[in-house]
Amino acid sequence: MSAVDQFIALAKGEVGYLEKATNSNLYDKTANAGSNNYNKYAYELASTDIFNGNKNGYAWCTSFYCWLWYHLWGAEKTKKALYIPSKSLAADCDFAVQYYKAKGKFGSTPQLGAQIFFKSSDGSYYSHTGAVVGYDANYVYTVEGNTSGASGVVANGGGVAAKSYARNYSRIGGYGYPDWSVVEGTTTTTTTTTTTTTVTDKIFDKARTYKNGQTSEPVYAESVLKTKTGSLNAYEECECLAIVNGKYLVKYIVDGSTAYKTGFVAYSGGVS
């Protein structure tokens, strides 16, 4: 799977996440929902030097886009691919646009994985951003953080949503084009360390059924299996959305609740 396909798969897997009322339950998609801008994306980025400080509790549309990169490829490659310095001001849309423009990487044509920027209602500044996950002759399709599913630009909507806009929509201010060469070819195919099977990364058009084995399986926030966020019970069945970096992106129900979470597991299980 190409780097941009991995990126899009991850973005789509985050749809439905809701920001939190307090700095707790950050890794549960819907629990502790509120309007105080606490979220796992800014929380994780706070441990890096991507931004010039902790942005958890602030507007987080740019945090979401940058987190997609960080989650897959780490802080250094994120900064290089998005043309931002250490301790950058890129949490602000206006500054993020400036970084792209300084490298001649800002334009008016959508590209897969590009960072779409929207203007404020009066057109005086860039007020919102998201990830381009598709486009055709008439529409551009996005996944955005800190928005809602309502039509038009919603710059502080409190969740991750999939949206679409006419390509000539007046509030589209332009697109930033990341340097995919920084990550392309580095994680397209991965061989598991526990078997001799080669696992080819892929996005499933329709979620597959994942069947866990006879022991509990840890679930991690990122495909490098660094931050544990939950676990699957022995023989538990759930949805598999994609294979990224040779790891399985699953959507499962949290024990004792009706809430869903997503994360990565190493064990291949049985995917059907």
Q: Closest by alpha carbon to 21, among 118, 138, 158?
A: 158
Kindly report the number of other CB atoms within 10 A of residue 12's CB atom: 18
Distances (CA, A) of 73 to 105, 114, 200, 244, 272: 20, 16, 18, 11, 28
Phi-psi group of 183: left, alpha or beta (phi > 0 → left; psi -120 to 50 → alpha; rest → beta): alpha
Q: What is the pLDDT along the chain (272 residues), one digit of tens a residue?
A: 799 999 999 999 999 999 999 999 999 999 999 999 999 999 999 999 999 999 999 999 999 999 999 999 999 999 999 999 999 999 999 999 999 999 999 999 999 999 999 999 999 999 999 999 999 999 999 999 999 999 999 999 999 999 999 999 999 999 999 999 999 875 433 323 333 334 556 777 778 889 888 888 999 888 888 888 889 998 899 988 888 877 888 889 988 888 888 888 888 767 87
Residue 197's pLDDT is 37
The secondary structure of residue 233, as a DSSP letter, is: P
Q: What is the DSSP string of 159-222?
A: EEEEEEEETT-TTEEEEE---GGGTTTSSSEEE-SSSSPEEEPEEEEEEEEEE--SS-EEEESS
Residue 70's pLDDT is 95
Alpha carbon distance, N-terminus to C-terminus of the chain: 19
Rounded Cα gap, residues 82 and 115, in angstroms: 9
Q: Where are the alpha helices (DSSP H) in the chain?
A: 3-13, 40-45, 61-81, 93-102
Query: pTM of the full predicted structure?
Result: 0.72
Rounded Cα gap, residues 167 and 193, in angstroms: 44
DSSP H/E element including 142: strand 139-147
Torsions phi, psi of 128, nearest 5? -160, 160
Q: Identify the residue whose tokens are 């057109």.
A: 123
Rounded Cα gap, residues 204 and 8, in angstroms: 12
Rounded Cα gap, residues 72 and 247, in angstroms: 11
